């Protein structure tokens, strides 16, 4: 997925295989936007969202998954996710949501 986002013009600071790696990469790279899968090998994306936002409440989380039910989406938004994108929608849809989330983060930074 990282390579596909790079082709779309995004800077990718890393790709994680699990929540622990995602937290380490996010702490080291300070990305404006983190893209998470809902289902990961160790901890689900909703729990990971909470941890990532504890690290940096200003970053945006975009959930990208093939397995989101409406209940999962609702829980994700309640946890602080900015957008949920189905893998069926494709990388272009993900890129649009990542771009929108990045713009929102930058706008919020300018307001602060």
Using CA atoms, how far apart are residues 71 and 51, in angstroms rounded to an integer?
20
Using CA atoms, how far apart are residues 26 and 33, in angstroms rounded to an integer?
9
pLDDT in tens, 58-82: 999 999 999 889 999 999 999 999 9
CATH number for the domain formed by residue range(s) 2-106: 3.40.50.2300
From 49-53, 70-74, 108-112, the region with the lowest mean pLDDT: 108-112
Q: Which residues contact 47 (CB under 8 A, 6 or more apart)?
A: 19
> Model-level pTM greater than 0.85?
yes
- The encoded tokens of residue 68 equal 């989101």
Nearest residue to 23 via CA among 34, 37, 12? 34
Confidence band (pLDDT; 50, 70, 90) for 7? confident
């Amino acid at each position: 997925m990282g390579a596909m986002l790079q082709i779309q013009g995004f800077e990718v600071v890393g790709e994680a295989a699990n929540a622990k790696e995602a937290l380490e990469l996010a702490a080291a790279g300070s990305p404006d936007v983190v893209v998470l899968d809902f289902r990961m090998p160790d901890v689900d994306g909703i729990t990971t969202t909470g941890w990532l936002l504890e690290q940096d409440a200003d970053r945006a989380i975009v959930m990208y998954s093939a397995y989101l039910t409406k209940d999962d989406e609702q829980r994700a938004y309640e946890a602080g996710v900015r957008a949920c994108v189905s893998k069926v929608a494709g990388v272009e849809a993900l890129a649009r949501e990542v771009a929108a989330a990045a713009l929102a983060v930058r706008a919020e930074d300018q307001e602060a």
